[in-house]
Each structure stands twice: as structure tokens, then as C-alpha cells.
Amino acid sequence: MPALLILNGPNLNLLGTRQPEVYGSTTLQDVEAMCSAHAPDCMLSFFQSNSEGALVDAIHAAKGTQDGIILNAGAYTHTSIALHDAIASIELPAIEVHLSNVHARESFRHHSYLSPVVLGSVAGFGAQSYLMALDGMKAHLASRTK
Ligand code: CA2
């Protein structure tokens, strides 16, 4: 059974409570419950932090304990070389997730420091983005063990 870490970055703890027109009305707890229901064949761990260093630590801790990472780094996506380096260093497959279609928003959201070091990205499907990333990660891991 694959062990997957679902990591959420800054302000995502506010999901469902503010800006529902951008991020929907689903809370982070709802998203986590949807992931668990969608992937009963995976051992899921969840972590959210508003601190860049705590996210780096969680990525480091995933090495040797997890088979993959699904990551919504929030605004750190667009700023964090530290998260880029952390993902590059652990040699685990990672998928970048966004609730909103970042490419249809402000230009400062168009660049991701994470995109070069992840398997792929899913953006724009709200909470469904996480489920699509789970499917992609499961398919990727299954194809490696064949
Ligand atoms: O679309 C996404 O998932 C983002 O990663 C969300 C980030 C944003 O900075 C990225 O550009 C795209 C922001 C997360 C903030 O979430 C909030 C949720 C509710 C209320 C306020 C903020």
C-alpha cells in the first residue's frame, strides 16, 4: 500500500472560510476527508503549515517514510527556492496541486519554483485537483513496480 504525504502550505488552513469565490467553500478538513475516501488503498498522511521551514522539514522527513508527496505550497510555490531544493533533494515523486487555475490569475502566480522538480502539476479543479493528483501518483507508482 503506497504511503503518500499530502502537504499544504500557507493560508490553506483558511480554506472554506474566506474568499469562497476563488477557493470554494470546501474546508481543508473536507479536502483531507475527500482524499481519504478517494484513496482507501493508500496510507495517507496530512500536514499543513504556514511556515516555510516546517514544510521543508516535512519534505525531508518524507524520505524513507513515504512513497510520494502531493503538495499545495500555496504562495510559496511562487517564491520558494528552499522548497524547490527540498523536493529535489529527497528523490521522491512529488505532484504540485493548486485549487485555482494559477495561469488564469495574476502574472506573479504564473511562475512556479516547484514545477521543474515535480512529476507534474494539477491546477484549476478546486478540491478535485487533489484527487486527480492522487490518481496520477498511484498510476506513476504502479507503473514503476511492474
Ligand atoms: O490555487 C491554489 O491552490 C493556490 O496554491 C492557493 C494559494 C495561492 O497563493 C496560490 O497562488 C494558488 C493561496 C492559498 C490561500 O488560501 C486561502 C483560502 C481561503 C481564504 C484565504 C486564503
C-alpha closest to that of 83 among 71, 97, 100, 67? 71
Is the Cβ–Cβ distance between 94 and 68 less than 8 Å? yes
Separation between Cα atoms, residue 6 and residue 130, nearest integer Å? 9
Testing ligand 1's pocket by substitution, the residue of 17, 99, 129 carrying the most ligand atoms inside 8 A of its CB is 99
pLDDT attached to residue 18: 83
**Average pLDDT estimate for 17-36:** 92
pLDDT attached to residue 146: 61
C-alpha closest to that of 84 among 54, 126, 117, 122? 117
Separation between Cα atoms, residue 30 and residue 24, nearest integer Å? 11
pLDDT attached to residue 7: 98
Separation between Cα atoms, residue 69 and residue 74, nearest integer Å? 15
Catalytic one of 76, 98, 113, 130: 98
Q: pLDDT for 105-142, tens place per residue?
A: 999 999 999 999 999 999 999 999 999 999 999 999 99
| Dihedral (CA of 7, 9, 13, 18) sign | negative
pLDDT at residue 33 greater than cutoff 80 = yes
C-alpha closest to that of 115 among 142, 137, 83? 83
pLDDT confidence bin for 24, thresholds 50/70/90: confident
* Proportion of the chain above pLDDT 70, given as a percent: 99
Is the Cβ–Cβ distance between 122 and 97 less than 8 Å? yes
Catalytic one of 23, 76, 113, 130: 23
Q: pLDDT for 35-46, tens place per residue?
A: 999 999 999 999
Nearest CA residue ID for atom 13, ligand 1: 74
